Structure 1
Amino acid sequence: MPKDTITLRISGDVHLEDYLVAMRQFRALIEALNKEVAGGIEVEWSIEDLAAGSADTTVRGGVKEESWQRAVEDIVRAYEEVGISMERGQDFPYSKEAADAAFGITGILNGRIDEITFETEDMEAFVTSAAASSLNRPVQTPAYSYGAIEGRVQTLSSRTGLRFTLFDAFGRGIQCHLRRGDEDMMRDAWNKWVVVEGRVRRDAEGKPKSIRQITDVVVREVGGSEDYREARGAVPVGPNAPSSEEIIRRLRDA
């Protein structure tokens, strides 16, 4: 499959003006990279997917000649390098024009907006206010490990490869990416509580940020609010034992 999509994700309380600024700079960044790595070959970028909440925007590059497809892939790879350099506080790898656009995107980090994600089908780079202010200084390399994360499946999309957002018990949104051909893992998983196993990326505080190379998705049955009543009688008690209501009242009034 061609490597022809790029995504910009804005996380936080995103106002319309923030989004408009980010989209102008997003377009400027793509155009600057086109000039620098693809010789200005005409590439038409169309909206492939939009998602509310975290303001995800995915665009797909198209060309008139099949022989020009390499140009799209070069732009996508350059976009990945931009994201990595911004995330890790490294020297910017491309022109001043591209740098101005990239910093224009991260310039909307203002407290309400707390994270910008540069993403492709193969990677993601997270830029926070702290990271944006520490450019040209080394920061910790992202940590990856095999693991399992529990949460509820939301924001399922199949437009650019199957991906979904997993909201864990703390309400954190974790981006999950399935490999092509593994779509059956998500059968009947929408809005269900699941365990996702795969290559987990964590931030410097150990919090999960994304899961790739997913090996399994297991739907877990979550009990209802009245299921505790099924446990009545599971443990034998004496004839003069207080009721559960009485025990709770005693604990409350202690």
Structure 2
Amino acid sequence: MYEERPALLDGAVVWTLTPRSGAASWHEGAAEDPVPVLPDGCMDLLWHEGRLLVAGPDTVAYLPAGGPERYAGIRFAPGDAPALLGVPASDLRDRRVELGALWGEARARRLAERVSAAPDPAAALEALAVRRAADAPDPDPLVRTVARRLAAGRPVAETADAVGLGARQLHRRSLDAFGYGPKTLARILRLQRALALVRAGVPYAEAALGAGCADQAHLARETRALAGTTLSAYASAWAKRETPQPSGSSTTA
């Protein structure tokens, strides 16, 4: 079962993923139409069965494998994680890495033990991130402006002008902050807008136009390219995820 809540850090989200009672696998009972983890311009700090990891920014859908294990995570707003973690986002693009590779094995092990011993690993992970943020540079306000404008559907060239950067400068800053250039980020955020409308029951053609796609065919291509699935398969899988399961069901979130 997946749950999330706003974090104490501005724009971040704390989330947990736990297997439903009686489940033998995350995907048991939902193998035909699993809901993928889609690219969103974000990076996550994860706790997974005693380990601390960092999930870099994705350019394609990611579907975790494994048995009925627990996860807790804090998903940072687009562009915020690199300053806190101390690494450019492009170094972690499409990667999941042990926190020890970034902060040192001994330190990461101590932190992982502290989170694992807490009654609520998600809250302990959030407290870790808050302490780290207090000692890290503040998120770049220019980067936040770029993310906000692109999330609202503003064109990349217009955004560059608005923040006073040339195209090359914006591309370089975006690689460090988001893991990819502004055009890729704009595509990813547009898909997120469109699929949010699809999840709300908006017809595909209307969702496409509302999100800024040229038409439904354009949205279908972007869904296939970035999410690795079709619009209908995504909508079907989401509907199954949102349908309450009877007690003891083996169908997982």
Please, what TM-score do these two structures have when normalized by structure 1? 0.25
Higher Cα radius of gyration: 1
Normalized per residue, the structure richer in strand is 1
Which has the larger helix fraction? Answer: 2
